[in-house]
Amino acid sequence: MNQRPLSPHLQVYRLPLTAILSIIHRATGVFLVAGVILLVVCLMAVAEGAQQYATVQSFLRSHLGRLFLWSWLYALFFHLCHGVRHLIWDTGHGFCRATLNRYAFLELAASVVLTSLVLVLTLFQA
Amino acid sequence: MNYRTPLSRARGLGSAREGSHHWWRQRVTSIALFPLTFWLAISVANLPDANYEDVVVWVTAPWNTILLLSFIIIVFYHAMLGLQIVIEDYVHTDWLKILGMLSAKMVLAFLALAAAFATLRIVFIG
């Protein structure tokens, strides 16, 4: 075999972290729409009155509701962090391999930190 | 027979000087959403434990009303642009693609209107 590089063989190709984050950015974008729809439902329920709001809130207070809310908030912050990276890319910076990987870890860490900060803030207010 | 020169054909089919609008609007809305995201995340995280009166007081506070209406308008526009790209990239049957894009946009526009209406109803009628 000669040593020429091969094009990726799709079935055994391990996606680099940057590619995985790019896909997650899209997936979180679509998931965030679902959460925004719940926000609309929430606002409409509040406009209807206390009784309707209680119904929506009982979902938000359930385990499933809290899981949805906090995964939505994490998705929100991940989408925000990766979005910031897109804005940096738009200026023409941050394309060399080392920077790409460093930013990838940085934005994963930042989204976890931001979600935790909101969690701490919420626990303090409660 | 085609009498047009290659240059004129290129001009006719080439840049319409508005191909970058979609991309640009996505960036502008993302920058606008950056500060709004922090404000919304902190507020929404409290929702499961807030009672009906708390939520009404929160929505009717003038700054919150303005920021909420801004968030609703911008987030749904941003979602429209984003979902359009997802549909364009993954749906390859022409009629299905057009149907998908049109229905996504109409549903999102309707939701934006419903959310804005609910917000104003809470503020002015209570």
Here the CATH number for the domain that contains residue B28 is: 1.20.1300.10
Q: Which two tokens stand for residue A97?
A: 């391999």
Instruction: Tell me what pLDDT residue A106 has.
Output: 95
pLDDT in tens, A47-56: 999 999 999 9
Distances (CA, A) of A10 to A15, A94, B80, B89: 9, 27, 31, 19
Q: Which residue of A has its CA nearest to B65?
A: A43
- Say if B86 falls within a structural domain: yes
Is B3 among the domain residues? no
Q: Let me know if residue B70 belongs to a domain.
A: yes
Q: Examine residue B14 and state whether it is found in any structural domain, yes or no.
A: no
Residue B75: domain span = 21-124
Q: Is the pLDDT of residue B17 over 70?
A: no
- Cα separation, A67 vs B48, in Å, equals 11
Is A126–B75 a contact, with Cβ atoms under 8 angstroms apart?
Answer: no
Q: A18-125 sits in which CATH class?
A: mainly alpha
Does the distance separating the beta carbons of B47 and A60 come in below 8 Å? yes
Q: Which residues of B touch A74 (CB under 8 A)?
A: none
Tens digit of each residue's pLDDT (9 = 90 or more) over B41-58: 999 999 998 999 999 999
Written in H, E and C, the secondary structure of B79-124 is HHHHHHHHHHHHCCCHHHHHHHHHHHHHHHHHHHHHHHHHHHHHHH
A52: which 2 tokens?
């309707």
Domains of chain A by residue range: 18-125
pTM: 0.88
What domain count does chain B have?
1
In a domain, residue B15? The reply is no
